[in-house]
Amino acid sequence: MKRILNILFFALILFPLQAKKDKTSEADQAFDAMKHIEIYNSVLRELEINYVDTLKHDKLLKLSLDRMLYGLDPYTSYIPASDEETLKRLRSGQYGGIGSIITLVDNKPYLSEPYYGMPAQVNGLQAGDEIVEIDGEKCEGKSISEVSDMLRGKPHTEIVIKVRRASENKLIKKAFLRDIIQMPTVPYHAEVADGVGYIVILDFIDRTASDLEKALAELVEKHSITKLIIDLRGNGGGLVSQAVDIASLFVPKGTEIVSMKGRHQSNGVSYKTKREPLYPNMELLFLVDANTASSAEILSGAMQDLDRGFVLGERTFGKGLVQNVRELPYDSYLKVTTAKYYLPSGRCVQAIDYANRQNGTTRVIPDSLTKEFRTLKGRIVRDGGGVMPDSVITEEVTYNISHYLYLKHIYFKYANRFVPQHSTIASADKFRLTDEEYADFCTFVKESGFTYQLESNRYLQELQDMVKMEGYDELTKELFNQLSEQLKPNVENDLVRFREDIQEMLELEIIKRYYYQKGTIEYGLRTDKWLKIAVDILGQNVQEIQ
């Protein structure tokens, strides 16, 4: 009992009170905190004495803390000692594993995407291998997280895996050592037009800036590029120091890239570039989308504020909050938001106003409540909603049969049959299924018994139920019948009608099996409309466009 009260005391002391400083003194705040701690302790004591069932203290503590922290923001969280995997990563920042994405197909775990150079790929495991057994324990029926936990372990410890491969009649046994899994942060770079380089950054970890610097040096040496596209789409961020180090390659020494401001002065800090730029005249363009967040937003937003780079794409995610990990008693931790990030113009990119969240919902700050800021050259930018690109790209998302084929793992299953029959394929930038091969895929789909239901049919049924409830079913019955008939999927016709979308997703699945992540990026560039727009923009005078 004493243990749980001690943990609650320390956790609640860290709880950032919402009282306004201009109305409540520090002494009043301290009294208010102690009052609520005493109330909570009294409730818990009464439950311990009088509740009909025995209390499960660990579960009760986790539940109460999770509900309390939910009222703040999604990044502030309590990490109990029992969460060993999270604690390992917090303490070391690394974990041992085999280096592959796992997927469930027909309730069986499969290797979906082994990473090149990681233990799984190096030791001959392939995408499409069914994981039958790990260290003597059967895997069928287990969840992805359960299988992933079995695959992880201390680096350099042995793991024994049995897999079933479509082209083999017997189980394949592999024994090898786990390793620290370090994914490539800059998985692809190339010249995409005369004098225009292209670099993909996946995340911001301790080596991202040095990896980008090496890739850029190679592009300059081999292709004499003078313009660079940095692709931050889907980049969820990471270490802010890496964003600053990357900016250091392009802006003068001592330039402020981002600052942190918190409730306490001790949480405030300014990040400035620490070296003279290697490429002060390199023309820059940043590709961003709705999943570009955190440090990736800081890099693109800061370069926009400094009028040093053109930003193209969608409004970014809008995560401008800073977290620190604080140690609690009994080997538990609190990950707590302590400050916000501010770009050189003074704006904050945080999109969701958690302070004004009501009834469990979040409020996105509307444009009418945002403030105007100015870039180095006087252009207007705004806070409160991620980074708004200099040029916005809007792209409609469509869900046709190609989407449903993916959800039912049809591409995955067909690739399992295709690969054993083709020892090699053309390079990723040239590979294309023939008409005969696509026809074979269509036959495979029909023989698999694949069917699907359009999402619009579900909404139509809901609308029909509402119309019936309101007494208009007889008046609209014929209309609904006609529409329902039109919305019935025809698999055979749809395989022809949406061939372009289907073939692109199928080719991508096949290319993964031969050329791994680098191949999928290279293949995607062939049809990347955003990249083509970026190249066109860099063909103009970016300074004039800005």
Q: Which helix (H) or strand (E) holds 457?
A: helix 455-469
Average pLDDT of span 182-193? 93
Note the residue count of the chain: 546
271-307 pLDDT tens trace: 999 999 999 999 999 999 999 999 999 999 999 999 9
Amino acid 65: pLDDT: 86
Of residues 82 and 498, more confidence is placed in 498
| pTM exceeds 0.85 | no
Of residues 406 and 487, more confidence is placed in 406
| Single-letter residue type at 540 | Q
User: Does position 327 have pLDDT exceeding 80, yes or no?
Assistant: yes
User: Does position 194 have pLDDT exceeding 90, yes or no?
Assistant: yes
Quick check: 95 and 89 in contact, CB under 8 A? yes
Average pLDDT of span 363-390? 84
Quick check: 147 and 109 in contact, CB under 8 A? yes
Interacting residues of 382 by C-beta distance below 8 A, sequence separation 6+: 347, 367, 370, 371, 372, 373, 388
Does 95-180 carry CATH code 3.90.470.20?
Answer: no
Task: From 151, 152, 113, 145, select the one nearest 133 (Cα to Cα).
Answer: 151
429-482 pLDDT tens trace: 999 999 999 999 999 999 999 999 888 888 888 898 998 899 888 888 888 888
Span of 16-30, 53-67, 379-393, 499-513 with lowest mean pLDDT:
16-30
Q: Tokens 């990030």 belong to which residue?
A: 341
* Domain spans in the chain, listed from the N-terminal domain onward: 2-70, 95-180, 188-394, 401-452+489-533, 455-486
Instruction: Kindly provide the residue ranges of all beta strands, DSSP E only, lying in 74-127, ordered along the sequence.
Output: 77-79, 96-97, 100-105, 108-114
Residue ranges of alpha helices (H) inside 311-434 are: 401-407, 410-421
* Beta strands at 196-200 and 227-231: parallel, antiparallel or unpaired: parallel
202 vs 180: CA distance, rounded Å: 18
Banded pLDDT at 18 (limits 50, 70, 90): very low
Amino acid 3: pLDDT: 44
Amino acid 435: pLDDT: 97
424 vs 430: CA distance, rounded Å: 13
29 vs 474: CA distance, rounded Å: 64
Span of 146-150, 280-284, 350-354 with lowest mean pLDDT:
350-354
Amino acid 17: pLDDT: 42
Of residues 469 and 5, more confidence is placed in 469
Quick check: 233 and 290 in contact, CB under 8 A? no
Average pLDDT of span 27-36? 82
| Single-letter residue type at 88 | K
Mean pLDDT of the chain: 88
Task: From 63, 71, 78, select the one nearest 11 (Cα to Cα).
Answer: 78
Amino acid 11: pLDDT: 43
Amino acid 266: pLDDT: 65
Percent of the chain with pLDDT over 90: 59
Question: How distant, in Å, are the alpha carbons of 435, 465, 487, 497 from that of 490?
Answer: 21, 25, 9, 10
Question: Per residue in 233-260, is it b (16+ CB within 10 Å) or e — as a string?
Answer: bbbbbbbbbbbbbbbbbbbeeebbbbbb
Q: Tokens 């007494």 belong to which residue?
A: 471
Quick check: 16 and 33 in contact, CB under 8 A? no
473-506 pLDDT tens trace: 888 888 888 888 888 889 999 999 999 999 999 9
Q: 95-180 and 188-394 share one CATH topology?
A: no
Amino acid 7: pLDDT: 42
152-166 pLDDT tens trace: 988 999 999 999 998
Amino acid 356: pLDDT: 63
The topology under which CATH files domain 188-394 is 2-enoyl-CoA Hydratase; Chain A, domain 1 (3.90.226)
Average pLDDT of span 83-90? 64
260 vs 243: CA distance, rounded Å: 14
Encoded tokens for 233: 């789409």
Q: Tokens 């895929």 belong to which residue?
A: 441
β-bridge partners, 271: 258
Q: Which helix (H) or strand (E) holds 229?
A: strand 227-231
Average pLDDT of span 401-405? 95
